[in-house]
A = this chain, B = another copy of it.
Amino acid sequence: MNLGTVSSGVVESRVSTRFDRRLARILDHATAIFCEKGYERASMRDLSRACGMSLAGLYYYFESKQRLLYLVERESFERVMDLLSERLNGVADPEARVRVFIQNHVEFFLARPKVMKVLSHEDDVLEGELGTEIAAIKRSYYRACADLVECLKLDRNQRFNSRNAVMALFGMINWLYTWYNPTVDGSPAVLAQDFADIFLRGVYSGT
C-alpha cells in the first residue's frame, strides 16, 4: 500500500469535504430564496446576499441563476439516489424494497421541504443542456422506483397498470410539501409507513 497515496487521499477528501460543505450551504441559501420568491423573482443580487457572497463571486463560481437551480436539483436527486442505493443494499424482498424507496423519499424530502417545493414548482424552468441533464437524472430516479414496483408486481403475480401505480405513488409522496406539518402529522418515518401500507394494499388486487 502506498502511504503517500492514502495520505493524499485523506487530504483531498478533507479539502473536498470542507468545500462540499461550503457549497452545500450556498445551495441551501439559494433553495430558500427560490422557495420564498420563486425562481423568476429571485435575483442574483438576492442570492448573493443570502449566500453571503459578493455578486461578482456568485457569478464567478456559479455563472448564472440557471446553474444555481441546476446544482440545487442535481444535488438533491444525486443524494436521494445515493441514500436509496445504500438503504437497498442487502434488502432482497421486493415488497421490503418498495417500502425502502418510500421511506427514503419521504424522509429525505420532508427533511428538506423547501427543496421539495422548488423541485415541483421550477420543474420546467431549466433549458438547454442543464435542462436535459436534470431531465435525465429525474428519469433515472423514476426508473429506479418503477423497477422496484415492477419486481414487486412479478413477485406477487399482480396485473396492475405499472405507470398508473408508480405515478399514484409519486403523487402521494411529492404532494407532501403542500400539507405536511410536523406538529400535527408526526414523524416522517411513521407517515412513510402509512403511505407504504396504503400504496401496497392499493396495488395488490387480492387475486
Contact = CB atoms under 8 A, between A and B. Distances in A.
A206 B202 CA distance: 11
Interface stretch (A17-25, A49-57, A66-74, A166-174): A166-174
A175 B170 contact: yes
Contact of A171 (B40, B164, B173, B194): B173
A194 B205 CA distance: 11
Q: Report how many copies the assembly holds.
A: 2
Determine chain A's interface SS by DSSP, over half rule: helix
Given A202-B199, A202-B202, A191 B164 contact: yes
A164 to B, nearest CB: 5
Interface residues of A, number: 37
A190 B171 CA distance: 18
A167 B176 CA distance: 8
B172 A168 contact: yes
Contacts of A199: 198, 202
- Sort A-B residue pairs by CB-CB distance and give the 10 closest, nearest first: A171-B175, A202-B202, A198-B202, A171-B172, A171-B171, A168-B172, A40-B40, A201-B202, A164-B194, A40-B41
Interface of A: 38, 40-41, 120-121, 123, 160-161, 163-165, 167-168, 170-176, 178-179, 184-185, 191, 194-195, 197-206
23 contacts: A40-B41, A160-B198, A164-B185, A164-B195, A164-B198, A167-B176, A168-B172, A168-B195, A168-B198, A171-B171, A171-B172, A171-B173, A171-B174, A171-B175, A171-B176, A172-B172, A172-B175, A198-B203, A199-B202, A201-B202, A201-B203, A201-B204, A201-B205
